[in-house]
Amino acid sequence: MSASSDTTAQAPSRAPWLWIAALALLVIITRLWMSSAVSWDQNEQLVWSQRLRLGYGPQPPLYTWLQWAVNLVLGPTTLAVVLVKNSLIALTFVFMLLAARQVLPERTAWLAAAGLAWLPGIGWQLLRDQTHTVMLTCAIACTWWLVLRHVRNPRPLGFVWIGLAVAWGILSKYSYALVAVALLVAALSVPAPRHALLSRGFWLAPLVTLALVAPHAWWVLEHWDKASGSTLDKLHPADTPSRLHGLATGSGDLLAFLLLAVLPWLLMAAYTLGRFWKTPRTSAAPAASTSHQRPGTLPWVEPLLRHYAIVVVAVLALMVLAGASKFDGRWIQPLLLMAPLWVLSRWPQAGNNERGARRYLAACLAMLVLMCSIAMLAPLRDAQRGNGDRLNWQLDAIAASLRQAGFNGQGMILAEHHTTGGVLHMLFPQAKVVVCDADDPGFHLGCAWRKAEKARAKGLPLLQVSTETPAPDAWWWAAWPIGSMPERRVYNLPYRWTDPDQARMKLEFIVYPADPSAAVSTSAAVHPALHASAHNHLQ
């Protein structure tokens, strides 16, 4: 009886898993309730995920492959994009909890995982429609779990799992390479992790990684400008006046984002747990120990995490010295995802403070609720201020306008931006959506003509469309033979909740019929009352 009771008491609690699942479901429901539209990166994914390719642009392809697979089941819908993103965020908490349980007592492990809510990188991901950064964050948490588990119990199969995680990270975002290098250097600098990573079967990890990454790596070599140009331009802005100015700007950005990455959590932990750093330091006692490692004998954990952080900061500093003059918080914050685990590994008994632990978890829950509330109320706030917001687009009104103008949802859609293309792919999933970026004149002049001419040659319906900021006239003319461009129509549609007198969404488009004989009379066939009829119908 007593033995059974002890076993039950020592079993890991199910409560954290239930909380993670419940909060993930709440976030998904509130996001779907907030708006049926999507914005920015997720629209780009809707366009790219129409087909499988080895590469798509300046980001690795794994997120797009995952979105493609989900779209096969759910279609190109808001639910599909919201489900992918928020499932990855939930899995980040899951993997962090699994990692913390390898090296911390049960209660403290839960504090380390829940503390992610106070890392700005996580909160920002909840607020914005991000994609690759979300998957990168999840891959980093998973990598740490698998590495910590392997160090505690080295075996050849563990290298296979680590190889899979590294391939996942590289195919999520190229900056993961810094994580892999920093983690490897840190592990080799500490005896126990070094012995584990050099144990029998170590060659399986790089073999698995190379086998999975090689096809995309080949694509990158063949499309180097497309894969690297955007990132390099962001790190080295063309308007940097001098090397000294770039050094000062880069150093300032780096310092600010490094502090922002950890300071909010540190302040919250100090407030809720009290002066936990003044308690005597003890070795971590993981929830489950292997036969050859007794709880409380893991002195390698804190040095491993500390050395990792040092390497990451050192590499970022070297990037500044090499000329990187601009950083973005979403690039840096995932790299320091392990900050709560690092600090708590120094004081693993912090979770024994029951009152402090309750306050800590309440603060984490409050932060998640606050982030979700801000995200949910942002479109309403923008509407009340008269600001056009992509999440306030009325998708039904857009679809109705285009159908009334003669577009039947088939053929090809030529969009001026991924935001437009993603929305129209949701509205007309049977049509092929192509994007010729109107902000890149050197690109769209060739792209628009090739795509439009292909549709005309096949007798397909063609919808050339731009939204919000008008595309330049050259973008429209580029798709048509000289003197034969059909009538371009302009609708001003109301935003949801917004006073139409303050802001309207501009929808410009050309509908080209599938029947070539109707193309000559396209302009004349459009009755002048059509615009007014559609406009009145949508008020």
**429 with 342, same domain?**
no
- In the predicted model, is pLDDT for residue 526 greater than 70? no
Per-residue model confidence (pLDDT) at position 121: 78
For residue 433, the surrounding DSSP H or E stretch is strand 432-435
The long-range contacts involving 154-162, CB below 8 angstroms and separated by at least 24 positions, are 154/195, 154/196, 154/199, 154/200, 155/199, 155/201, 156/200, 156/201, 156/204, 157/201, 159/201, 159/202, 159/203, 159/204, 159/205, 159/208, 160/204, 160/205, 160/208, 162/205
- In the predicted model, is pLDDT for residue 530 greater than 60? no
pLDDT tens digits for 52-80?
999 998 899 999 999 999 999 999 999 99
* Domain end among 377, 402, 419: 377
**406 with 350, same domain?**
no
108-112-113-114 Cα dihedral, nearest 10 degrees: 90
- How many Cβ atoms sit within 10 Å of the Cβ of residue 229? 13
Q: Is 425 among the domain residues? A: yes
Bridge partners (DSSP) of residue 426 are: none
Per-residue model confidence (pLDDT) at position 518: 40
User: Using an 8 Å Cβ cutoff, are 11 and 74 in contact?
Assistant: no
User: Using an 8 Å Cβ cutoff, are 413 and 421 in contact?
Assistant: yes
Give residue 464's identity as a one-letter amino acid code.
Answer: Q
pLDDT tens digits for 255-269?
888 888 889 999 999
DSSP characters over 53-89: -S--SSS-SHHHHHHHHHHHHH-SSHHHHHHHHHHHH
For residue 410, give the 3-state DSSP assignment: coil
Per-residue model confidence (pLDDT) at position 516: 44
Per-residue model confidence (pLDDT) at position 229: 60
By C-alpha distance, which of 158, 143, 150, 106 is closest to 300?
Answer: 150
Confidence of residue 525 (pLDDT cuts 50, 70, 90): very low
**99 with 213, same domain?**
yes
**366 with 397, same domain?**
no
Instruction: Provide CB contacts within 8 A for 121, sequence distance 6+.
Output: 133, 137, 261, 329, 330, 333, 334, 337
Give residue 385's identity as a one-letter amino acid code.
Answer: R
Per-residue model confidence (pLDDT) at position 295: 40
Bridge partners (DSSP) of residue 510 are: 464
Q: Is 7 among the domain residues? A: no
By C-alpha distance, which of 35, 47, 33 is closest to 420?
Answer: 47
- How many Cβ atoms sit within 10 Å of the Cβ of residue 297? 14
Bridge partners (DSSP) of residue 492 are: 506
**401 with 522, same domain?**
yes
- In the predicted model, is pLDDT for residue 432 greater than 60? yes
Confidence of residue 21 (pLDDT cuts 50, 70, 90): very high
In this prediction, residues 109-117 reach a mean pLDDT of 94
Q: Is 259 among the domain residues? A: yes
Q: Is 502 among the domain residues? A: yes
Per-residue model confidence (pLDDT) at position 3: 43
Q: Is 67 among the domain residues? A: yes
**49 with 188, same domain?**
yes
Cα 456 to Cα 513: distance, rounded to the nearest angstrom:
9
**95 with 243, same domain?**
yes
**193 with 316, same domain?**
yes
Per-residue model confidence (pLDDT) at position 311: 96
**Between 486 and 536, the higher pLDDT residue:** 486
**Between 1 and 32, the higher pLDDT residue:** 32
- In the predicted model, is pLDDT for residue 103 greater than 90? yes
**Between 324 and 451, the higher pLDDT residue:** 451
Cα 390 to Cα 414: distance, rounded to the nearest angstrom:
19
Tokens 């290098």 belong to residue: 181
Q: Is 172 among the domain residues? A: yes
- In the predicted model, is pLDDT for residue 441 greater than 80? no
pLDDT tens digits for 229-253?
666 566 556 566 666 766 777 788 8
User: Using an 8 Å Cβ cutoff, are 405 and 530 in contact?
Assistant: yes
For residue 192, the surrounding DSSP H or E stretch is helix 191-197
Provide the pairing of β-strand 432-435 with 462-467: unpaired
Cα 449 to Cα 475: distance, rounded to the nearest angstrom:
9
For residue 34, the surrounding DSSP H or E stretch is helix 15-34
**211 with 355, same domain?**
yes
* Domain end among 377, 402, 425: 377
Give residue 342's identity as a one-letter amino acid code.
Answer: W
Mean pLDDT estimate for the chain: 85
User: Using an 8 Å Cβ cutoff, are 336 and 315 in contact?
Assistant: no
**404 with 471, same domain?**
yes
* Domain end among 377, 403, 436: 377
The long-range contacts involving 353-356, CB below 8 angstroms and separated by at least 24 positions, are 353/273, 353/274, 353/276, 356/272, 356/273, 356/274, 356/276
**259 with 362, same domain?**
yes
Q: Tokens representing 48?
A: 């790219």
Phi-psi region of 146 (alpha: psi -120 to 50; beta: other; left: phi over 0): alpha
Alpha-helical (H) ranges within 223-325 are 224-235, 243-273, 301-321
What is the maximum span of the chain, computed from C-alpha positions, in angstroms? 91
User: Using an 8 Å Cβ cutoff, are 12 and 287 in contact?
Assistant: yes
Tokens 């008491």 belong to residue: 9
Q: Which of 238-252, 276-290, 467-481, 495-509 shows the lowest mean pLDDT across its residues?
A: 276-290
Domain membership of residue 185 as a residue range: 12-273+301-377
Per-residue model confidence (pLDDT) at position 371: 87
Q: Is 285 among the domain residues? A: no
Number of domains composing the chain = 2
Per-residue model confidence (pLDDT) at position 304: 96
Q: Is 284 among the domain residues? A: no
